[in-house]
Amino acid sequence: MSGDEAMVHTDVHVVRRRARRVGARAAVHAVLIGYSLLAVGPALLVVANSFKERQAIFDSPFSLPTPSTWDTSGYETVFDEASFPTYFRNSLMVTLLSVLGVIVVSAMAAHALSEFDFRGRGLLRIYLLAGIMVPIRLATVGLVELFGSLEMINTLWALILVYIAMGIPLGIFILSQFFAQVPTELKQAARVDGAGEWRVFAVTLPLVRPGLGAVAVFTMLPVFNDLWFPLVLAPGESTRTMTLGAQQFLGQFETNWNAMLAALSLAIVPVLVLYVLFSRQFLRGLTEGAIK
């Protein structure tokens, strides 16, 4: 690495390489921008058209609303006719309580499964994890009978319990890997200090937070967007969720596209907000070894 000649040579190389790298970067951005557009396009289409007057929706469905085509009558219809605030509240309550329930219950079980050595641990794990591959929809008839006999049809609790049950297998699967990674010394130290098992659990919980984030997102998305169980277990006006409300709305205003688009747009927002809020924990949860 000495001599001017060599220096010049490297310079040319570096310049060329840099040029190539700039080109490559531009290409990477182009591809990612292109795919991002494809990803958000359909949702944007729904939102954009919800602010357009009816005729403009069909004349040029792919253009943005302009002052001359601006029309919010769809939203007015939605807020006049449908109990959207109620639906929204129901969805929020069901989603948040289900997520909370799955997290608490699976964290406890995952802690036990990775912490205690006891006979039947393997079997218990298999039993709890088997549910990952079973579609709970197959259990509909049994669920309806069960909740019927408990007189819990048309309550939000019916939904919440089903969703917690549905989320437990995956929750335990993800979290037990996190719990196993918690340094033993830490738990031992707590125990030596005379802490009870609850205390040990409480000490380890913050360490598995990324795992909790991942579980939250994986539980939240299917719960918020579920159409089936709200339809079967809680179709009543006062317990209707947002997704079901939007679906019913489609039936009610088959040809009132303004109202339909407004209802759909409103259904996009909450879960998107929740996702963005949780997404960092979610990603950390995935990158820190949960899914391998």
Identify which range of 5-13, 27-35, 68-76 contacts other proteins by CB under 8 A.
27-35
For position 207 contacting other proteins by CB under 8 A, the verdict is no
Alpha helices, DSSP H, located in the chain: 4-49, 54-59, 73-81, 84-115, 121-129, 140-149, 156-181, 184-192, 197-204, 209-225, 228-233, 242-252, 257-285
| Footprint on residues 237-256 left by other proteins (CB under 8 A) | 237-238, 243, 246-248, 250-252, 254-255
One of 72, 73, 86, 205 touching other proteins (CB under 8 A) = 86
C-alpha neighbours within 13 Å on the C-beta side of residue 89: 7
Task: Give the whole-angstrom CA distance, residue 15 versus residue 9.
Answer: 10
For position 149 contacting other proteins by CB under 8 A, the verdict is yes
One of 140, 195, 203, 205 touching other proteins (CB under 8 A) = 140
- Cα separations in angstroms, 279 against 76, 214, 276, 289: 32, 8, 5, 16
The nearer residue to other proteins, 105 or 203, going by C-beta atoms, is 105
Q: DSSP letter string over 127-185?
A: HHHGGGGS-GGGGHHHHHHHHHHTT-TTSHHHHHHHHHHHHHHHHHHHHHHHHHHS-HH
One of 96, 195, 203, 205 touching other proteins (CB under 8 A) = 96
Among 278, 288, 287, which residue's Cα sits nearest to residue 99?
Answer: 278
C-alpha neighbours within 13 Å on the C-beta side of residue 113: 25
- Cα separations in angstroms, 189 against 186, 204, 278: 5, 12, 32
N- to C-terminal Cα separation, the chain: 44
Residue 60 CB, nearest approach to other proteins (Å):
9
Identify which range of 5-13, 28-36, 66-74 contacts other proteins by CB under 8 A.
28-36
For position 104 contacting other proteins by CB under 8 A, the verdict is yes
In this structure, the number of other CB atoms found within 10 A of the CB of residue 30 comes to 10
For position 64 contacting other proteins by CB under 8 A, the verdict is no
The nearer residue to other proteins, 72 or 140, going by C-beta atoms, is 140
The nearer residue to other proteins, 4 or 55, going by C-beta atoms, is 55
For position 123 contacting other proteins by CB under 8 A, the verdict is no
| Footprint on residues 2-21 left by other proteins (CB under 8 A) | none
For position 223 contacting other proteins by CB under 8 A, the verdict is no
The nearer residue to other proteins, 4 or 259, going by C-beta atoms, is 259
For position 87 contacting other proteins by CB under 8 A, the verdict is no
What does residue 76 show for φ and ψ, rounded to 5 degrees?
Answer: -60, -45
For position 25 contacting other proteins by CB under 8 A, the verdict is yes
Identify which range of 8-16, 37-45, 66-74 contacts other proteins by CB under 8 A.
37-45
For position 120 contacting other proteins by CB under 8 A, the verdict is yes
Residue 223 CB, nearest approach to other proteins (Å):
11
